Amino acid sequence: MPNFDALEPAALRDPYSVKWNHYPDGVLPLWVADMDFPIAEEIKKAVLARLEFGVGYPFMGGDPRLLSAIIAQQEDYGLHGLEPQHLMLVSSVVPGLYASIQGLTAVGDEVITQTPIYPPFLTSVRDHGRVALENPMVVRDGRFEIDFEHLETLVSPKTKVLMICNPQNPTGRVFERAELEKLADFVLRHNLLVVTDELHAMLRLEGEHIPFASLSPEIAQRTITLTGPCKAFNTAGFGGGVMISHNTELLAQIQKATKGLMGHPNILSMEMWRVGLEECGTWLEQTLDYLRANRDFLSTWLEQHLPEVTCIPAEGTYLAWLDFNKFPFGSEVHKFLLEEAKVGLNDGPPYGALYQGWLRINFATSRAILTEALERIERCIRARVD
Ligand SMILES: Cc1ncc(COP(=O)(O)O)c(C=O)c1O
């Protein structure tokens, strides 16, 4: 069993870690979505062994063993009928988001997504002259839900794509079948294409992962699914991702729009991903147990010590989306906590227009580091407002 309790900030601040070096020394960084935990021994061993063999050009379409492992994983989730030609490896998931938008839309087209949302969902649309329409989620019965009424008001003849993130970063929602079916109905009625980022699918703390493309053959024909190894196995520095679609014409359209720009698969990333899928089930279960306990600890701690902060426990991911708007800090909350509490979180506004006063916290760290960060936040806030 890995000892996730024994993390030392000094050791975590290795020179390659943006998470631990972005903010000044002394700040506890609970922001970018890396886990502070060491990677699985199986992955270390496999990557070292690969280096012994050599790292020449791989098959451009990807290692067939990796493609089989990805197809088997999707089968387990209930997405059937995939073959290697339905998979296009990409350098990582964000380039896959950008490529999908470029291939499937034209300048001026509209793309809808639920907010708050991982910022590249908005930038991949806006950076290239498309229009991102935000459908803010609503809190009902203590959880973030899709506002289907508002969704309908956003559509125009220029709307071409619905982007989905499931499990959702930053709210941690794992969408249920009924919610996804309502989205599928919306997509069919308005003749939209779908880009669904399911990168966090293996990081479920509750619930079942339902691939959007599995809802029906008609939906599969209009969906691009993106996923990769980096969230579950904590290997963001390796990169790696895949674009999946039963509709090879959509993949060809994307390939044409990005011809020559996407590079070729990275052999070490393919190897670690394959071994992750084939051999790291136990490591992942142990990691999920630790994350579940941290998630519960975080929400209980906030209820007891800072009940003004709204925290809806995540069903997936290791992120929580916290509302500090009951305090009078407004847009200063991120800066205030960074400079005075010495805790670095993600500020809300990049996640959508409505999210001033919200912060994203990454709870994939040791219980001791999480506790220290929360205590620092509490001390500073109480000193300011009490
Ligand atoms: C939903 C989502 N998509 C994509 C990414 C980034 O993926 P990659 O590093 O493979 O580009 C992240 C990173 O946190 C994410 O949360």
Nearest CA to ligand 1 atom 2: 199
236 lines ligand 1 (CB under 6 A): yes
* CA of 111 relative to ligand 1 center, distance in Å: 19
Q: If you ran DSSP here, which 8-state letter would residue 360 be given? A: E
Q: Is 46 among the domain residues?
A: no
Q: Could you identify the atom of ligand 1 that is nearest to the CA of residue 239?
A: 10
Q: Is 47 among the domain residues?
A: no
Instruction: Measure the CA–CA gap between 197 and 383, rounded to whole angstroms.
Output: 41
Spell 157-191 as b/e; 16+ CB within 10 A means b. eebbbbbbbbbbbbbbbbbeeebbbebbebbeebe
User: What is the sign, positive or negative, of the torsion defined by CA atoms of 125, 126, 129, 133?
Assistant: positive
Q: Is 214 among the domain residues?
A: yes
Token pair of 206, please? 């509750």
Q: With beta carbons less than 8 A apart as the criterion, state whether 137 and 128 touch.
A: no
Q: What is the pLDDT of residue 386?
A: 79
Last-in-domain residue among 250, 279, 308? 279
**Tens digits of residue pLDDT in 107-142:** 999 999 999 999 999 999 999 999 999 999 999 999
Verify that 268 and 296 share a domain, yes or no.
Answer: no
Provide the CATH number for the domain around residue 11: 3.90.1150.10
* CA of 307 relative to ligand 1 center, distance in Å: 31
Q: Is 52 among the domain residues?
A: no
93 lines ligand 1 (CB under 6 A): yes
Q: Is 50 among the domain residues?
A: no
Q: Closest Cα partner for 170 from 318, 287, 34, 37?
A: 318
Band (pLDDT 50/70/90 cuts) for residue 175 is very high
Verify that 101 and 196 share a domain, yes or no.
Answer: yes
Cβ atoms within 10 Å, residue 85: 11
Verify that 249 and 374 share a domain, yes or no.
Answer: no
Domain count, the chain: 2
Domain around 8? 4-41+281-385
The mean per-residue pLDDT over the stretch 15-38 comes to: 95
Provide the CATH number for the domain around residue 263: 3.40.640.10
**Tens digits of residue pLDDT in 240-258:** 999 999 999 999 999 999 9
Verify that 206 and 325 share a domain, yes or no.
Answer: no
Q: Could you identify the atom of ligand 1 that is nearest to the CA of residue 200?
A: 1
Last-in-domain residue among 230, 250, 279? 279
Q: What is the pLDDT of residue 210?
A: 98
Token pair of 216, please? 């029906």
Nearest CA to ligand 1 atom 16: 169
Instruction: Measure the CA–CA gap between 352 and 240, rounded to whole angstroms.
Output: 27
Q: What is the pLDDT of residue 142?
A: 93
Band (pLDDT 50/70/90 cuts) for residue 1 is low
Verify that 88 and 30 share a domain, yes or no.
Answer: no
Q: Closest Cα partner for 235 from 186, 291, 286, 275?
A: 275
* CA of 327 relative to ligand 1 center, distance in Å: 31
The side-by-side arrangement of strands in the sheet containing 319-323 is: 310-311, 319-323, 358-362, 346-347
Verify that 359 and 242 share a domain, yes or no.
Answer: no
Q: What is the pLDDT of residue 330?
A: 80
Last-in-domain residue among 279, 312, 344? 279
Q: What is the pLDDT of residue 383?
A: 92
The mean per-residue pLDDT over the stretch 139-150 comes to: 97
The mean per-residue pLDDT over the stretch 225-232 comes to: 98
The mean per-residue pLDDT over the stretch 253-279 comes to: 96
199 lines ligand 1 (CB under 6 A): yes
Verify that 155 and 259 share a domain, yes or no.
Answer: yes
Q: What is the pLDDT of residue 32?
A: 97
Is 90 exceeded by the pLDDT of residue 198?
A: yes
Band (pLDDT 50/70/90 cuts) for residue 3 is confident
Cβ atoms within 10 Å, residue 144: 21
165 lines ligand 1 (CB under 6 A): yes
DSSP 294-322: HHHHHHHHHHHH-TTSEEPPPSBSSEEEE
Q: What is the pLDDT of residue 242?
A: 98
Q: Is 12 among the domain residues?
A: yes
99 lines ligand 1 (CB under 6 A): no
**One-letter identity of residue 352:** G
Verify that 168 and 260 share a domain, yes or no.
Answer: yes
Q: Is 306 among the domain residues?
A: yes
* CA of 120 relative to ligand 1 center, distance in Å: 8
Verify that 96 and 29 share a domain, yes or no.
Answer: no
Verify that 191 and 68 share a domain, yes or no.
Answer: yes
User: Is the model more confident about 276 or about 16?
Assistant: 276
Residue entry with tokens 């136990």: 282
**Tens digits of residue pLDDT in 35-60:** 999 999 999 999 999 999 999 999 99
29 lines ligand 1 (CB under 6 A): no
The mean per-residue pLDDT over the stretch 140-160 comes to: 97
Alpha helices in the chain (DSSP H): 9-12, 18-21, 41-53, 64-77, 93-104, 120-126, 148-154, 177-189, 217-221, 230-233, 248-257, 267-279, 281-305, 333-336, 367-385
Band (pLDDT 50/70/90 cuts) for residue 8 is confident
Verify that 194 and 298 share a domain, yes or no.
Answer: no
Please report, for residues 111, 131, 374, the alpha-carbon distance to residue 366 in angstroms, rounded to integers and kept in the order given. 38, 40, 12
Range from 239-248, 312-321, 377-386 carrying the lowest mean pLDDT: 377-386
Verify that 182 and 256 share a domain, yes or no.
Answer: yes
Q: What is the pLDDT of residue 385?
A: 85
Band (pLDDT 50/70/90 cuts) for residue 11 is confident
Q: Is 213 among the domain residues?
A: yes
Is 80 exceeded by the pLDDT of residue 2?
A: no
